Amino acid sequence: MNKHTTIRVSLVVAIAFFMQFLDTTAVNTAIPAMADAFGTDVVHLSTGVTSYLMALAIFIPVSGWIADRFGTRKVFCGAIAFFILSSTLCGTSQNLFQFVLYRIMQGMAGAMMSPVGRLAVLKVTPKDELPAAMNYITVPALVAPIVGPLVGGYLTTFWSWRWIFYLNVPISIVCILLAWHYIPQEGLHAGKAAVKKPFDWTGFVLSGLALAGFMYGVEMFSKTNVSYGVSLAVVIGSLAVLVLNVWHAKRTVAPLIDYSVMKVRTYSITIWVGSVSRIVIGAFPYLVPLMFQEGFGLTPFQSGLLFLSTMAGNLSMKSATVWIIRRFKFRNILLVNGFLVALFTFFTALLLPDTPVWIIVVTLFCSGLVRSMQFSSLTTLAFADIAERKMTAANTLYSTIQQMSTGMGIAAGAVALRFANMIHGGVPGRYTVPDFRLAFLFIVVIGFLHLFGYGFLKPTAGDAVRIKRGV
pLDDT in tens, 111-125: 888 889 888 888 888
Reported as a single tens digit per residue, the pLDDT across 391-410 is 888 888 888 888 778 778 87
Q: What share of the chain is helix, strand, coil (3-state, %, to 5)?
A: 85, 0, 15
Class of domain 1-198: mainly alpha
Same topology for domains 1-198 and 258-471, yes or no?
A: yes
At 206-237, the pLDDT tens digits run 988 988 888 788 777 766 677 778 888 988 99
**292 phi/psi in degrees, rounded to 5:** -60, -40
Q: Distance between CA atoms of 430 and 435, rounded to whole angstroms?
A: 9
- C-beta separation of 275 from 405 below 8 A: yes
Q: How confident is the model at residue 470 (pLDDT cuts 50, 70, 90)?
A: very low
CA 367 and chain centroid, separation:
18
Degrees, nearest 5: CA angle 358-362-365: 135
What number of CA atoms fall less than 13 Å from residue 359's CA on the CB side?
10
| pLDDT higher than threshold 70 for residue 193 | no
Distance CA 213, CA 441 (A): 29
What pLDDT digit, counting tens, does each position of 8-60 carry? 888 888 888 888 888 877 777 677 778 788 887 665 676 777 788 788 888 88
3-state secondary structure of 114: helix
Q: pLDDT at position 42, please?
A: 60
Return the DSSP state at 129. Answer: G
Predicted pLDDT at 417 = 86
Q: Which of 112, 104, 66 is nearest to 87 (CA)?
A: 104
Rounded mean pLDDT of 182-195? Answer: 57
CA 308 to each of CA 305, 313, 315: distance values in angstroms, whole numbers, following the listed order: 5, 9, 11
- Answer yes or no: is pLDDT of 200 > 70: yes
Could you tell me the sign of the dihedral formed by the alpha carbons of 173, 177, 182, 185, in that order? positive
User: pLDDT higher for 225 or 275?
Assistant: 275
User: In whole angstroms, what is the distance from residue 451 CA to residue 454 CA?
Assistant: 6
CATH number of 258-471: 1.10.3720.10, 1.10.10.10, 1.20.1250.20, 3.40.640.10? 1.20.1250.20
Q: How does pLDDT run across 431-468, given as a tens digit for each residue?
A: 889 999 999 999 999 999 999 999 999 988 888 876 66
- Contact between 17 and 140 under an 8 Å Cβ cutoff? The reply is yes
Share the mean pLDDT of the chain: 84
- Domain layout of the chain by residue ranges: 1-198, 200-255, 258-471
pLDDT band at 194 (very low <50, low <70, confident <90, very high): very low
